Structure 1
Amino acid sequence: MSITPKLTRFDLSMIVISLVIGMGIFATPGEVATSSSNPFLYFGAWFFGGAVSLCGALTFAEIGARYPTTGGFYKVFSYCFHPAFAFMINWILVISNAASVAAVALIGAEYINPIIMPASLQNDLGIKIMTITSVLILYIINFLGIKMSARTQNALTIFKISMILILCTAVFKSHITPTTYRIIVPPGDNKYNLSAFGISLVAVFFTYGGYQQTINFGGDIINAKTNIPKAIFTGMITVIFLYLLINFAYYSVLGIKGLQHKTALAATLAGAIFGAVGYKIISLLMFVSVLAFINVNIMANPRVYYAMAEDGILPNRFKRVNQKTQVQEFGLSFFVTAVLLILFFISSFQKMLSYVMFFDTIGLSTAAVTIFILRKKTKHLNGTGIYTMKWYPVIPIIFIVAYWFVTISIFIENPLAALICLCAFVAGLIIYFITKNSQNTIIIP
């Protein structure tokens, strides 16, 4: 019941873009502006974040090329370190991903609900109904097959890119004057302090993150050793371009002061272009963006379960694949069920940011370390045409150091969140050994 490669380089490029562009770019610029109340610091954070993310993308491109396998983000830890460490990192990331999907789904429903729901359902119940319906529709689409999922993803991603480009035209039509807002200076009254820059990078890296999940599709990609690095590079260059472009549009329309005070940033741009119907336009954009984010996570996360099942950490049913559709029917259902359960308990996406980013910064920076081990273990691949990043080891070192800088910034800013996250990692390690010991226990009749 192995997985047969069916996805093309274009499919994977669209997956990369959708893994990265979720709801973050429509919300986090305001938080970045609040942390860095100077235009040079603001754009510096986005340029620096883009450069570091590109370093990370190149690192993961080589990791994916040297070790193309299903559930690669788990497998590479297991191969380079130990299955216990792989489980410790990945078990909490899978939970975190399900929580992020649930939170983003709620945000999307809040946008589209007033437009398509009757007046009697313009409330929390209506939002929950819309959220659950959206997740279930995408679940059915994914159940029909990996190619059907990819075609849906391609259409949603192309639509999302087009709408972002349209929003950027607001710079030519806006008459909003940003001088009506009072500027917010970070604590300490120092617009250029290192701590403020570090905190602003939490939101920036969150907005740029997600591309690392691409290596989970190593077993699904046709000619993976060539197509994974090219797709990651193409996708991330597109994302960086779009992010810098829309941030320029935000700044041109609102200025730093306006960015700090406005929450519905994309709605403001849409209003500048389309006038009174701008809200409806942006509601559609937000909903499509949410659908793309949900869909790509439904595609990616069950592949991690597959890898864990191969290592015997999860039951074999998690790696059962329908040979016709290439769908892990049980793994897919399990992830969607987790999302739906979280939907009944989740409260705020903003409150999750520190927790999600602490998990991500540790997970991504540690995963990037595997490139040094992979280079030694896969020497036989050198000179075979496999992708090899230039400026090694400078590129991965820049990425690792930058992410640990953000990890330390989170720890200083929110030590409680950091402590809870560290306890969650330790809990994963304990769960691993309990699971392995129970599997190794032999009952003699």
Structure 2
Amino acid sequence: MQAQAEVGQDVGYVRRLGAWSAAMMVVGGVIGGGIFLNPATIAQRTGSGWTLLAAWVAGGLLTLAGALCYAELGVRRPQAGGSYVYLREAFGSLAAFLFGWTMLLVNYSGSIASVSIIFGRYACIGFGLPLTWVKPLAVGAMVFLTGVNWFGIRAGAFTQNLLTVLKLLAVAALVVTGVFLAGGDLPAALGPDPARTDLSTWAFAGALLPVLFTYGGFSYVNTVAGEVRDPQRAIPRALGLGMLLVMVCYVLANLAYLAALGHDGLAHSAAPAAEVMSRVFGDNGARAIALGIAVSTFGYCNIALIGSARVLQVMGEDGLFFRFAAKLHPRWRTPNLALALVAAWAVTLALSGTFEQLLDYSTIGDWLGYAAAIATLFWYRRMRADEAAAYRTPLHPLLPLVFVATVAAVVAVMVFTTPRNAGMCMLIIGAGVPVYGLWRRLAPR
């Protein structure tokens, strides 16, 4: 099956991505700036180095379970659109529209804007530029990546592969420096932290929240499934192996932080990656890892632009978005107009400075989208039982049940701890219902 855009033209996607590029999209979609910046929060909510590592392993295994479920969905529907397509088939056009609505308005565009600002900030640090260059660099990054991806999925994939290899090298440099060169005491760091002996089980549950958010982004490869060669084999391999590689990187990076800083030192560090590198290499080390963070965030923006544009293209094809967004470039076979629209909105958010608040509101919606998409697997297994699938999720229905239940628990914790953000998220999603009704009424048939 190959996705087609048949809105006044006979142009469809072309399967040009191999398994390697698909796996790099998985890795690049997950590893952004979080692993370099956020581990201190997890350390503050855990009582020992072993507990901290257990949180990262648990989060990785849960995300791997979700990725294996997405692998079956990608095999069943190897076409552009990913979660949007699964929700449309299983739960109807309203559920699919609400996913696309929050994706465009907040989730994907807000994350692109936010991460591009992080890119600009660390590029300034790495190159010694004044911070007044942050927003121009962020906007320039989005415009540049839009231009690269305008010229076909191969151009975007080549850029993604290069950036992902560079970010893996940055992680490797961090691990080698922290574990072998910084001169810390890893065995002591793995033991109990005297400053945090009174933490409860509830605190560990709170530690899982930022861990899970750092593991997010594995579903981007499903949005480009219509451009993957031999998707029945390539998509499961990319999701499975890609997530295993991410989990190894995250655990090793945290070992480096613990070895160099200790558990309490990590809990008090505002920029642990820079602190580890500067302990061995001074200011040059801090600037080098700043460039590594810039490369990593640049790569995330690339895959987020690629994925979100495909979702909008399919929505336009279904009549649930502007019809012009459904068009593919006749030569490059890219959703160039949808790509430009996503980039324009992300640039607007970045320049306005509203993306940070939107991201606070969208976190729940992002994970609800994952859970809803994985829940469609039950529908496919029951209503499309006669379909032959080259890959089936192992331990079904256990894995999807565990994933959906855990996400429900995470959302419950967020509602309890941040009721304002949870309420705003629900309002944003709910606002899509009248918009959907109006769109269905006014859209040309």
TM-score by length of 2: 0.91
Report the counterpart of residue 382 of structure 2 in structure 1: 376
My pick for the range that moved more, 128-137 or 47-56, is 128-137
Residue 211 of structure 1: how far off its partner (Å) = 0.7
Deviations 1:145-184 (A, max 9, x none): 211110011011011111201210121111368999x976
Q: Say whether the 8 Å CA contact 2:126–2:291 is kept in structure 1.
A: no
Q: Say whether the 8 Å CA contact 1:184–1:260 is kept in structure 2.
A: no
CA RMSD, 1 decimal = 2.1
Which residue, 390, 397, 400 being the options, matches 1:396? 400
Report the counterpart of residue 238 of structure 1 in structure 2: 245
**Distance in 2 separating the partners of 1:289 and 1:304:** 23
Which residue, 425, 428, 432 being the options, matches 1:424? 428
Report the counterpart of residue 201 of structure 2 in structure 1: 193
Which residue, 313, 321, 325 being the options, matches 2:328? 321
Give the 3 Å change call, closer, same or farther, for CA 155–274 of structure 1 in structure 2. same
Amino acid at match of 1:43: L
Residue 67 of structure 1: how far off its partner (Å) = 1.5
For 1:60-99, what aligned pairs fall within 5 Å after superposition?
Answer: 60-94=70-104, 95-99=106-110
Deviations 1:412-433 (A, max 9, x none): 1001111111111111122111
**Distance in 2 separating the partners of 1:411 and 1:199:** 12
Report the counterpart of residue 174 of structure 1 in structure 2: 182
For 1:337-352, what aligned pairs fall within 5 Å after superposition?
Answer: 337-346=344-353, 349=356
Deviations 1:111-140 (A, max 9, x none): 12144365xxx133x211121122222121
Residue 39 of structure 1: how far off its partner (Å) = 2.9
**Distance in 2 separating the partners of 1:15 and 1:221:** 11
Report the counterpart of residue 32 of structure 1 in structure 2: 42
My pick for the range that moved more, 32-41 or 335-344, is 32-41
Which runs of no fewer than 5 residues in structure 1 stay unpaired?
none
**Distance in 2 separating the partners of 1:226 and 1:306:** 25
Report the counterpart of residue 59 of structure 2 in structure 1: 49
Deviations 1:205-251 (A, max 9, x none): 11001012221112111122221111111111110111111111111
Report the counterpart of residue 305 of structure 2 in structure 1: 298
**Distance in 1 separating the partners of 2:243 and 2:285:** 29
Q: Say whether the 8 Å CA contact 2:179–2:259 is kept in structure 1.
A: yes
Report the counterpart of residue 161 of structure 1 in structure 2: 168
**Distance in 2 separating the partners of 1:171 and 1:320:** 51
SS state at 1:219 partner: helix
Q: Between the two proteins, what is the percent identity of the paired residues? A: 27
**Distance in 1 separating the partners of 2:126 and 2:167:** 19
Residue 440 of structure 1: how far off its partner (Å) = 6.5
Q: Say whether the 8 Å CA contact 1:183–1:256 is kept in structure 2.
A: no
**Distance in 2 separating the partners of 1:361 and 1:113:** 32
Deviations 1:286-344 (A, max 9, x none): 11111101111111110000111122101221111113212111101001101110011
Which residue, 120, 123, 137 being the options, matches 2:144? 137
Which residue, 17, 24, 28 being the options, matches 1:18? 28
Aligned residues: 429
Give the 3 Å change call, closer, same or farther, for CA 67–247 of structure 1 in structure 2. same
Q: Say whether the 8 Å CA contact 2:74–2:235 is kept in structure 1.
A: yes
**Distance in 1 separating the partners of 2:328 and 2:100:** 21
Amino acid at match of 1:414: T
**Distance in 1 separating the partners of 2:161 and 2:340:** 22
Report the counterpart of residue 229 of structure 1 in structure 2: 236
My pick for the range that moved more, 233-242 or 1-10, is 1-10
Amino acid at match of 2:287: K
**Distance in 1 separating the partners of 2:34 and 2:401:** 26
Report the counterpart of residue 288 of structure 1 in structure 2: 295
Give the 3 Å change call, closer, same or farther, for CA 347–427 of structure 1 in structure 2. closer
Amino acid at match of 1:107: I
Which residue, 116, 119, 122 being the options, matches 1:108? 119
Residue 263 of structure 1: how far off its partner (Å) = 1.3
My pick for the range that moved more, 324-333 or 74-83, is 324-333
**Is 2:441 the counterpart of 1:437?**
yes
Report the counterpart of residue 6 of structure 2 in structure 1: none
**Distance in 2 separating the partners of 1:114 and 1:29:** 20
**Distance in 2 separating the partners of 1:33 and 1:93:** 31
Give the 3 Å change call, closer, same or farther, for CA 348–27 of structure 1 in structure 2. farther
**Distance in 2 separating the partners of 1:437 and 1:375:** 33
**Distance in 1 separating the partners of 2:352 and 2:194:** 36
Q: Say whether the 8 Å CA contact 1:173–1:272 is kept in structure 2.
A: no
Amino acid at match of 1:98: S
Amino acid at match of 1:173: L
For 1:247-266, what aligned pairs fall within 5 Å after superposition?
Answer: 247-266=254-273
**Distance in 1 separating the partners of 2:417 and 2:50:** 23
Q: Say whether the 8 Å CA contact 2:163–2:295 is kept in structure 1.
A: yes
**Distance in 2 separating the partners of 1:74 and 1:276:** 46
Q: Say whether the 8 Å CA contact 1:73–1:213 is kept in structure 2.
A: no
**Distance in 2 separating the partners of 1:129 and 1:235:** 32
Which runs of no fewer than 5 residues in structure 2 stay unpaired?
1-10
**Distance in 2 separating the partners of 1:347 and 1:313:** 26
